[in-house]
Amino acid sequence: MSTHISELFHSHDQFIDRHLGPRPADAQAMLDELGIEGLDALINAALPDDIRTTRPLDLPPARTETEALAALKSLAERNQVLRSFIGQGYAGTITPPVIRRNLLENPGWYTQYTPYQAEISQGRLEMLLN
């Protein structure tokens, strides 16, 4: 009873091994139910010829999940974090007393009271937070 070391350890670095999609036998059962021989025949039946390409896609070789994550990390590290000026355009203003009294200091706006129009409520909430 000799067992090769590669038979003892299963690679868990392949996404396909963890994929929850249909297994080949399940896919074939679905194709049999449709009366179609294989996936290529299904694609031929489902897609019109005028939108299909006849040349193979020019894709790089497949990567393991670890290699893909390393490549994505390397790509993300090239990003430049720049200073954001969003929200810094407000100037010092004076809120008129009538607005302050009727909107900001009225407890009806920040209690359980809910107005019927959600847009008004959202606008008041924005005003209170900003």
- Is 61 a member of any domain? no
pLDDT score, position 8? 63
Whether the Cβ atoms of residue 42 and residue 31 lie closer than 8 Å to each other: yes
Q: At what angle do helices 24-34 and 39-46 cross, to 10 degrees?
A: 50
Residue 5 resides in a domain: no
pLDDT at residue 72, as a whole number: 94
pLDDT in tens, the chain (130 residues): 566 666 666 666 666 666 667 888 999 999 999 999 999 899 889 999 888 888 888 999 988 888 889 999 999 999 998 887 777 766 677 878 888 777 777 766 666 655 566 656 666 666 666 6
Amino acid present at 5 = I
Cα 1 to Cα 4, 16, 69, 95, distances in angstroms: 10, 30, 39, 87
Tell the burial category of 42 from Cβ atoms under 10 Å away from its Cβ (0-12, 13-18, 19+): middle
Q: How far is CA 62 from CA 10, 11, 14, 23, 67, in A?
A: 19, 15, 10, 20, 9
> Do the domain assignments include residue 3?
no
Q: What share of the chain is helix, strand, coil (3-state, %, to 5)?
A: 50, 0, 50
- Residue 121 included in any domain: yes
Q: Is 1 helix (H, G, I), strand (E, B) or coil?
A: coil
**Residue-range definition of the domain harbouring residue 25:** 12-52
Number of domains, the chain: 2
Residue 37 lies in a domain: yes
Global pTM value = 0.36
Q: Has residue 48 been placed in a domain?
A: yes
